[in-house]
Structure 1
Amino acid sequence: MNRSKNNAFTLVELLVVIAIIGILVALLLPAVQAAREAARRTQCKNQLKQMGLANLLHVDTHGFLPSGGWGQHYVADANRGFGKEQPGSWCYSILVYLEQTALADLGTGMDPRSTEFQQASTLMNTTPIDVFYCPSRRAARGYPVVWGSIKEQVWVKDLLQVAKSDYAANTGDALHSAATSVGGTFWQPSSYDDTNTLWSKTSDPANTTHYQTGVIFYRSEIKPRRIVDGLSNTYLIGEKLMSTNVYESVDGDGIGSWERYGDNQNAYVGFEWDNHRVAWAPDQTYKDTPEVYQPQQDSAGQNNATYDRRFAFAFGSAHSGGLNMAYCDGSVATINYDIEPEIHRSNAMRYDDQARPKKFSR
């Protein structure tokens, strides 16, 4: 009798094929992941390019770069214009140049103590803007918040999730960085009615304790001609360092204070660690540890106050190898994490040491 042939695969043959497929997937997966990260890094660069151009448009309109705002007790107010009179952050001041005029105008012409203004302010503070989020770090949406003391627009303290920013303005190698709890206090008005006193306060003149050397800081109005080192040689806005523990939440078990300080409020709060970083803060308690201010890749905190302060002071990113930085001429470059500290510091200053006031030279 003729026997029919069995054309099926044997078990051994199937296992061999599966093993080969598994090996091929394992070989291809890193390449696919690398390609995706390269695309995200390019998108991040493009976003910084947009922000850089928005800053230049701000200069064309007002004659100076956006101001850093009044401090962490205030958020942006559409009725207070631009520059020193604007209590909110640089993020707010460039909204109109990012095709977000409708968002920036929320509350315009309204009584700042009315229900209508409260509703407008709430919408502005909770609406995320894609360009402010690095795609390698987190999605563009609202995130949990831990507010400090808020004046005037006190209702924002009831907001549980707010719009945030993964980018920070260059404050320089400031003698004191943002906020009021480290290195001395930046004066903030007790209310809008106290602004007559405010106009005499600044961190710009060389004879002040809080003298700052960057381009966007406490109540700043820096014109391009004052950037002596050149627009193409001076940092403008870069990615900020964050602890991986606070990507999704800033309030929880195991999250240290310094881990959350650099991302605990929102994108529109005044001069604060959330939206400003320095290349070195030589007058602070940890002035002898410049490595704290060195650009670095995101990592988890170490429950070490000295080392974890980097999350409130330093530039950094979720990318490996380096972070993206926009310069004052609108160009964007990748800054390697191993950049020499003095070069990094020099790039953050709007003038070199020869032009620095002698009182604050080192």
Structure 2
Amino acid sequence: MRPSLRSRAHFMRGFTLVELLVVIAIIGVLIALLLPAVQQAREAARRSQCKNNLKQIGLALHMYHDTLGSLPPGWIANHPSTNKPYWLGLPGWGWGTRILPFMEQSSVQDNLIDYRLPMLDSFHDTVRTTSIPSFICPSDTGGTTFTLEPGSMPAPNYSVTFTDTTVPKANYIGVFGTVRMVNAGCPTGECLGNGSFVLQKGFRFRDLTDGLSTTFIVGERNSKFSPSTWLGVFAGAAHAPGRIVSVAENPPNSEVSPGFTFSSYHPAGTQFLSGDGSVRLISETIPQATYHALCTRAGGEVAGEY
């Protein structure tokens, strides 16, 4: 017997409005539960890539050391009048440029850089906008370049003309130490921090007497307050040396002088490269004494738990 029209209408009844709202609410709850997990997975992948970048830098530094007998100088700069080392002098090339051949970037160094010329020389127009992916943390989103603005030059007998200049971004900078540059002899020429990357001097691994595994040599800095570059120190630019090295005066992500310390966009902490090539994630709650012990090359301190 064929079903009646009334029976067919009963079988074909659709969802009610309440049922649809319940389904939508359930889907919304599932998405809300899933989204943080997806974001955490993405951040974990970005942090892993960031760690790999630091490991690559560490490997390059070790190969540089094996080839030339020391780590590269933090930066090389001389006073144009006296030709003596001067933290805001010329040409200003930083440690990051020196390891390019060991990061499969020989063409950049060979074709785009002349270390005898200042970084603002027209010969370097191309390299001043050349981004090196291995120097950028994937968690630090945004452009691969930034505008470096003029700053003050604390030397009455030496001044340069510096205007807004586009430079490549970098998120990995050298550890100058735990003492501010103005207190480490930089204005007078010595500029010898107690870390691993300082003006004009390249340390040997044996100079890191605190131990390679307990000495941080490179760390992260995000671009929120003071973007960094891998090129070097631009004479006349704002916070020029602080663009390639940092002072670990305060713990990572500190709200005190945030533009001059180490920092990251990783929610769990900031990653550091040790002298032995290992990479560690350091929380912003690390004890100050322990952090300082890790950021000096020969302080004789004993690094505690971290």
Partner of residue 279 from structure 1, selected from 238, 243, 248: 248
Question: How far apart, in 1, do the equivalents of 2:53 and 2:95 lie?
Answer: 15
Partner of residue 48 from structure 2, selected from 16, 39, 42: 42
Structure 2 residue 186 is matched with structure 1 residue 186: yes
Q: Structure 1's 236 and 95: CA in aligned 2 closer, same or farther, altered over 3 A?
A: same
Question: How far apart, in 2, do the equivalents of 1:149 and 1:162 lie?
Answer: 19
Question: How far apart, in 2, do the equivalents of 1:145 and 1:134 lie?
Answer: 19
Max Rg structure: 2
Question: How far apart, in 2, do the equivalents of 1:172 and 1:16 lie?
Answer: 59
Question: How far apart, in 1, do the equivalents of 2:292 and 2:115 lie?
Answer: 43
Once the two structures are TM-superposed, the CA of residue 107 in structure 1 deviates from its matched residue by 4.6
**Counterpart contact for 1:118–1:155, Cα < 8 Å:** no
Partner of residue 253 from structure 2, selected from 281, 288, 296: 296
Structure 2 residue 215 is matched with structure 1 residue 267: no
Provide the residue aligned with 1:124 in structure 2.
127
Partner of residue 139 from structure 2, selected from 126, 136, 141: 136
Give the counterpart letter for 1:50 in structure 2.
Answer: Q
Structure 2 residue 12 is matched with structure 1 residue 9: no
Q: Which has the higher strand share?
A: 2
Q: Structure 1's 319 and 8: CA in aligned 2 closer, same or farther, altered over 3 A?
A: same
Provide the residue aligned with 2:100 in structure 1.
95
Question: How far apart, in 2, do the equivalents of 1:89 and 1:112 lie?
Answer: 13
Q: Structure 1's 101 and 147: CA in aligned 2 closer, same or farther, altered over 3 A?
A: farther
Q: Helix, strand or coil for the counterpart of 1:106? A: helix
Q: Structure 1's 277 and 30: CA in aligned 2 closer, same or farther, altered over 3 A?
A: same
Q: Structure 1's 156 and 57: CA in aligned 2 closer, same or farther, altered over 3 A?
A: farther
Structure 2 residue 233 is matched with structure 1 residue 230: no
Pairing of 1:14-93 with structure 2 (within 5 A)? 14-70=20-76, 87-93=92-98
**Counterpart contact for 1:129–1:140, Cα < 8 Å:** no
Superposed CA deviations along residues 29-75 of structure 1, whole A, max 9, x for unmatched, are 1111111111111111010000111111110111111111146999x
Once the two structures are TM-superposed, the CA of residue 173 in structure 1 deviates from its matched residue by 1.8
Structure 1, unmatched stretches of 5+, are: 75-84, 189-200, 204-210, 248-258, 281-292, 302-306, 355-362
**Counterpart contact for 2:113–2:127, Cα < 8 Å:** no
Q: Percent identity?
A: 34
Question: How far apart, in 2, do the equivalents of 1:147 and 1:72 lie?
Answer: 19
Give the counterpart letter for 1:121 in structure 2.
Answer: H
Pairing of 1:133-212 with structure 2 (within 5 A)? 133-139=136-142, 141-148=144-151, 157=163, 159=165, 161-174=166-179, 176-177=180-181, 182-183=182-183, 186=186, 202-203=190-191, 211-212=192-193
Could you state the TM-score of these two structures normalised by the residue count of structure 1?
Answer: 0.67
Give the counterpart letter for 1:279 in structure 2.
Answer: A
Matched positions, count: 274
Question: How far apart, in 2, do the equivalents of 1:230 and 1:335 lie?
Answer: 18
Q: Helix, strand or coil for the counterpart of 1:48? A: helix
Q: Structure 1's 147 and 102: CA in aligned 2 closer, same or farther, altered over 3 A?
A: farther
Question: How far apart, in 1, do the equivalents of 2:79 and 2:134 lie?
Answer: 25
Structure 2, unmatched stretches of 5+, are: 81-89, 154-159, 234-239, 302-306
Q: Structure 1's 24 and 93: CA in aligned 2 closer, same or farther, altered over 3 A?
A: same
Question: How far apart, in 1, do the equivalents of 2:184 and 2:77 lie?
Answer: 13
Partner of residue 332 from structure 1, selected from 276, 279, 286: 279
Once the two structures are TM-superposed, the CA of residue 268 in structure 1 deviates from its matched residue by 0.9
Question: How far apart, in 1, do the equivalents of 2:37 and 2:115 lie?
Answer: 54
- Please tell me the root mean square deviation across aligned C-alpha atoms, in Å: 3.1
**Counterpart contact for 1:324–1:334, Cα < 8 Å:** yes
Structure 2 residue 259 is matched with structure 1 residue 311: yes
Give the counterpart letter for 1:92 in structure 2.
Answer: T
**Counterpart contact for 2:54–2:273, Cα < 8 Å:** yes
Question: How far apart, in 2, do the equivalents of 1:165 and 1:335 lie?
Answer: 19
